[in-house]
Amino acid sequence: MTKSKLINENSIGGLFLILGSIVLLTTIYFEFSIGWIGHARTNKETNEFILSNWENLKHIWTWQMLSHFVYITGYFLLLKKAEVLMRIVWSILTVCSLLMLVAFGLTLGTYYQALEMYNSEPAIFETLRGGIGYLYQFGRYGLLLFVVAFLVETLNNNGKILKVFGFSLLAFIILLFTVGYAFGI
């Protein structure tokens, strides 16, 4: 593989990570705006919220699922010629995003129907919620590891993420946290 092709694949992989991050952050904003996150609820209130807001949540979760597909594409591009430690990191991130894809796929394919039957057959929904919850929790650890990998690949002199894009996204995230903190969100 020529050096220019490798640099191109690394740049494209970095762009995929940035695109996935923008999509994921945007969907988190939409989750907040409809009240899915940022509010404490009982299990019963959560079930009622999902049923009454299913159309919005379905679209948000579909886009989140897409963001993980975009992440996986970027991980594969970056994995090809990464150093050993980063190859392990990209591999772990790929597995975590695959778990998130499965969790979102199961949620989108089964949650609403299982919630509709909740009053007559609560065990079905509780079983689905438990299984999806485990997949989602393990997959979320990948997002924490992603932050570390993103910083390493942005700050490293030989990093795979273009500095202008990486620093722009980092500045945007810091701005979001600052605004959220200032307004008590």
pLDDT of residue 23: 94
Residue 88, number of CB atoms within 10 A of its CB: 12
Question: Percent of the chain beyond pLDDT 90?
Answer: 39
pLDDT of residue 160: 66
Query: Largest Cα–Cα distance of the chain, in whole Å?
Result: 62
Q: Which of 4-13, 29-38, 127-136, 169-178 has the lowest mean pLDDT?
A: 4-13
Instruction: Convert the pLDDT of each residue in 76-114 to its tens digit.
Output: 998 887 888 889 999 999 999 999 999 999 999 998 999
pLDDT of residue 48: 92
Chain centroid to Cα 51, Å, comes to: 23
Instruction: Convert the pLDDT of each residue in 140-153 to its tens digit.
Output: 888 788 878 878 87
What amino acid occupies position 74?
G
Check whether 2 has a pLDDT greater than 60.
Answer: no
User: At 1, is the pLDDT very low, low, confident or very high (cuts 50, 70, 90)?
Assistant: low
Query: Which residue reads 């894809």 in tokens?
Result: 101
Average pLDDT, the chain: 86
Instruction: Convert the pLDDT of each residue in 25-62 to its tens digit.
Output: 899 889 989 999 878 899 889 999 999 999 999 999 99
Taking residues 56-71, report their average pLDDT.
Answer: 96
pLDDT of residue 5: 55
- 10, 160 contact by CB (below 8 A): yes
